[in-house]
Amino acid sequence: MVRMTWLCIVFLLLPVAGFSAGEWPADWFRPHIGTNGGGYSQNEGARLARLSPWKMTPRGNEVFRIIRGLVPSEMNPGDIVWLARKLGSPLGQADRFQLWKRLRAISSDESLVSSYSNAVYGDGETPYNIMPQEPYGWYDFNRDGKVDLFLATQGYFGPSYGYVAIALDTVPARYLLDISSGLSVVKREGLRTILRFDVMQIDQAEAQIEYFIIADNRTGRISYGPCLAYASETVMPQSWLGRSRVLRAPTLRIRKGPVVDNTAVNPDEVWKLEGTSVLAGNIVAELRPGSMLRVLAEQPGWVFVSAPPLSVLKTSLRHGMDEIGEQKKPRVHYTVCGWLKLDP
């Protein structure tokens, strides 16, 4: 039996969809400060064009498979009706009734009955969130004739613009992304294709968020990479380590910069303070004892780290559009980035 070192064991135990953290390059964890995604742009058009080798037009039985995945998914029923029509397969009464029941389960407000009817039983000429004038597409990354990912530009309140990304390998289809954001990176790395979405920062107290979505070009499997969260005022290192290293946390507070500030704040007033919200002073996260962190940069007395989700005991980093359910949890638990003092 091959005996693994404790370091290997740590990496294997980190919770990941699709790939282990040990396979993620260090540059994925380096915050791209100043990015503020949101809205389709000319440059995004060029990035979307890099996905064109995998773009396909669903036909025949594949259309029916897609619809089977979308009908019970989180997608707005009006958009499902519209997509089915665009695919040349308008929804039947059974599917429309299933959408109706889902809408009624969300709200019992009788004043909304007419909008329910329009969404579910309309002709599908107009989508609800998807922006038909902007690019949207179906992508088959392993070229087996089955769509792996649906990607579309959507409109949100404000107005603001962003993306919905849906994996179509399960029933119901898996909602990966639905937020005001910009497509910042499309890159092929070995046998996988990497997409990075930078979430639009609407309120100054909100964190900067970067979503990574990974397509396996062998299997077509779509999964998450790390979801980075950091304060927009974070002091970026002057240089990054050529190779990151792993460190057991010597202290337990991640900060915006390499300086100790423990000034107490009123939790009820924290969102009114200038800048990204904090737990106290310049503290954006507290870690669990014994946490293993990735060191990305260093200077005397300090290291710049990324802390995986399981290591984060609590954090002030949040985004109003990235809160799901009554508990307002993010769709993907954050990998928190910032400065850590080496000595207590």
Residue type, 79: D
Pairing relationship of beta strands 55-56 and 136-139 according to DSSP bridges: antiparallel
Cβ atoms of 178 and 74 within 8 Å: the answer is yes
- Locate tokens 């303070």: which residue? 273
Backbone angles phi, psi at 26, to 5 degrees: -60, -35
Q: Which of the four pLDDT bands, split at 50, 70 and 90, describes residue 110?
A: low
Task: Give the whole-angstrom CA distance, residue 291 versus residue 146.
Answer: 41
As a whole number, the mean pLDDT across the chain is: 86
Tokens at residue 43, please? 């440059």
- Locate tokens 């290293």: which residue? 245
Of residues 64 and 121, more confidence is placed in 64
The answer on pLDDT for 317 being more than 90 is yes
Query: Helix (H, G, I), strand (E, B), or coil: what is residue 165?
Result: strand
Count the neighbouring beta carbons within 10 Å of the beta carbon of residue 56: 15
Cβ atoms of 146 and 220 within 8 Å: the answer is yes
Read off the pLDDT of residues 287-298 as tens digits, 9 standing for 90 and up: 999 999 999 999
Query: Helix (H, G, I), strand (E, B), or coil: what is residue 195?
Result: strand
What value does the mean pLDDT take over residues 41-66? 89
Task: Give the whole-angstrom CA distance, residue 256 versus residue 163.
Answer: 28
Pairing relationship of beta strands 335-341 and 222-230 according to DSSP bridges: parallel
- How much is the pLDDT for 171? 92
Backbone angles phi, psi at 305, to 5 degrees: -130, 160
Between the ranges 103-107, 276-280, 303-307, where is the mean pLDDT highest?
303-307
Cβ atoms of 180 and 156 within 8 Å: the answer is yes
Read off the pLDDT of residues 198-236 as tens digits, 9 standing for 90 and up: 988 888 888 999 999 999 999 999 999 999 999 999 999
What value does the mean pLDDT take over residues 249-255? 97
Task: Give the whole-angstrom CA distance, residue 26 versus residue 14.
Answer: 16
Q: How far is CA 55 from CA 10, 62, 142, 216, 338, in A?
A: 38, 14, 11, 15, 37
